[in-house]
Amino acid sequence: NGGGGPFHAPSATYLYTVAGRTHVLLRAKVGTVAKATLVLPKSEGMVEMRRKARDELFEYFEVVLPGDGELEYSFEVRTWEGVIRKTGPFRAVPYRPETPRWVYERVFYQIMPDRFERGLPGTPPGTRLRAGDFHGGDLAGIIKRLEHLEELGVNALYLTPIFESMTYHRYDVTDYFRIDRKLGGWGVFRKLVGELKKRDSRLILDGVFHHTSFFHPYFQDVVRAGEGSEYRRFYRITGFPVIPEQFLRILHSEEPWTERYHLIKSLDWNYESFYSVWLMPRLNHDSQEVRTFILEVMEYWLERGADGWRLDVAHGVPPELWREMRKAMPEEAYLVGEVMDDPRPWVPDAFHGTMNYPLYELILRFFVEGEIDAGEFLNGLELLSAHLGPAEYAMYNFLDNHDTERFLDLVGDERRYLCALAFLMTYKGIPSIFYGDEIGLRGRLGGGLSAGRAFMVWERGKWDTEIFETTKRLIQLRRKSRALQLGEFVPVRFQGRTMIYERVLGDERVRVEIRYPMEPEDCAFHVTTS
């Protein structure tokens, strides 16, 4: 190693095991290697490594071997000049990911509770301050529609925040130990948990620990007591008083809430927040009290029926804090970070997986923009795979979510949508459906963060039945196939606008063919199992 030569270390991303096989990777400076070979002890011999992916700096080579025990190996690399370089020897036990086993069998369904279904009788009671736009969905509504989820075949739920808060999206939490009363409160939550357990369905909750609500009692204490507040170190306060006097005047004026919200926006205040949103003061993650608080909340809901957490703005919190949380959590809890860029600092040791934005970007480039061809798409996939290592099987994969435009709106028609969905359901990582996608729910393009947050449509007559039936079929396929969940990904042909690949595990081999020309009529996919 070193000296610009090929690199390998028996680390989580270069030597790991999944489903009884071992992946060995080697990295070299781009354009230097003619042939890379993995050298095993005598009886097993030499195995040529596959050229997996490249970026501007590096090229990655990979070999997949049967078995998952300790390995003795070295590498032999021939450069284009004919020079032979040896790396190694190594002797190591492949890294084994700690993802809870139940995760791999799942297809997630994401619900934004306010936008899904109303189950409580009557209209939801109003709140004093409302950042507009409540649609009145609640947890009883989810219980009412569990049959729909069963019919669809999904077996895990991800709910956007459900704790006490002022807004419909609930990312401004005022009480982390209380299910929002407008959603039905603790009683309905407990019932939902029970119903999910009966159906062997799992549940992950949205943990907003980057910031709290401005109206959280701790922050309110800082606003009131200033420097004397025992919570002043809970937040990132940059000066006192925390807010100018005008702030409170506007806050308590008779103006409509949205007016007040925007008037306040233009003031100066003395604390860090989420994207300069005054409603969301940023927590001080260096504080031990804050860490203890986060841990308590996470444990509290895991003990009360949650199976894991999706952690909001995880990339805005030091990775080392998440590693600390992870160590304290039960092994069975699935932890997914909302990380939008490079996931490498976060997996596999802070989270089991992250929300797979890098995959989403690639999907956009191939399926939506048509800006890259299948060959470039494959290189992107393989590069991401080389970065993620075994965590790629636990990534939270999506075509859309509550922060994006609906994928159907982006591609414009159902055939193209279903081809992309076929890819998602047959690729590595945990697939998810954003509520409504299964019936062809539309949003509006260019609508910002709330573009895709329309209320669910429950009249069957208005559903896109082709999307619904095909989504069901793809989910069944995914759930039944260990190869799709954990199998090796074997590219067969990625050329022009066509991709053919296999997913292989033991005797099971699933072959996927997706033709995706830019004319939607000619888009089609085909999956065969042998």
Residue ranges binding ligand ARE (CB under 6 A): 169, 171, 208, 274, 277, 279-280, 312-313, 338, 340, 402-403, 448-450
3-state helix, strand, coil in the chain (%, to 5): 35, 25, 40
Nearer Cβ to ligand ARE (390/452): 452
Q: Find the shortest distance in angstroms from Cβ 378 to ligand ARE.
A: 24
Nearer Cβ to ligand ARE (264/514): 264
Closest residue to ligand ARE, Cβ-based? 171
Nearer Cβ to ligand ARE (216/402): 402
Q: Find the shortest distance in angstroms from Cβ 210 to ligand ARE.
A: 7
Nearer Cβ to ligand ARE (61/271): 271
Q: Find the shortest distance in angstroms from Cβ 169 to ligand ARE.
A: 4
Q: Cα separation of 388 and 394, whole Å?
A: 10
Q: Find the shortest distance in angstroms from Cβ 274 to ligand ARE.
A: 5
CA 295 to each of CA 170, 176, 280, 291, 447: distance values in angstroms, whole numbers, following the listed order: 20, 12, 20, 6, 35
List strands edge to edge, sheet with 21-29: 15-18, 21-29, 58-66, 50-54
Is 413 considered catalytic here?
no
Residue 239 CB neighbours (<10 A): 10
Q: Cα separation of 434 and 399, whole Å?
A: 8
Is 349 considered catalytic here?
no
Instruction: State the SS3 of 219-254.
Output: HHHHHHHHHHCCCHHHECECCCCCCCHHHHHHHCCC
Nearer Cβ to ligand ARE (91/265): 265
Residue 343 CB neighbours (<10 A): 26
Structure tokens that stand for 284 in this block: 């001080």
The catalytic residue among 312, 409, 464, 502 is 312
Contact between 224 and 241 (Cβ < 8 Å) = no
Largest CA distance in the chain: 83
Nearer Cβ to ligand ARE (19/277): 277
Q: Cα separation of 112 and 130, whole Å?
A: 17
Q: Find the shortest distance in angstroms from Cβ 455 to ligand ARE.
A: 15
- Beta-bridge mates of residue 505: 508
Nearer Cβ to ligand ARE (340/368): 340
Where helices occur in 390-447 by DSSP H, the ranges are 407-411, 414-426
Q: Find the shortest distance in angstroms from Cβ 332 to ligand ARE.
A: 25
The catalytic residue among 62, 164, 338, 437 is 338
Query: Strands 156-159 and 202-207: what pairing?
Result: parallel
Q: 170: alpha, beta or left, given left = phi > 0 and alpha = psi -120 to 50?
A: left
Contact between 127 and 166 (Cβ < 8 Å) = yes
**113 preceded by cis ω (within 30°)?**
no
Q: Find the shortest distance in angstroms from Cβ 205 to ligand ARE.
A: 13
Active site residues: 312, 338
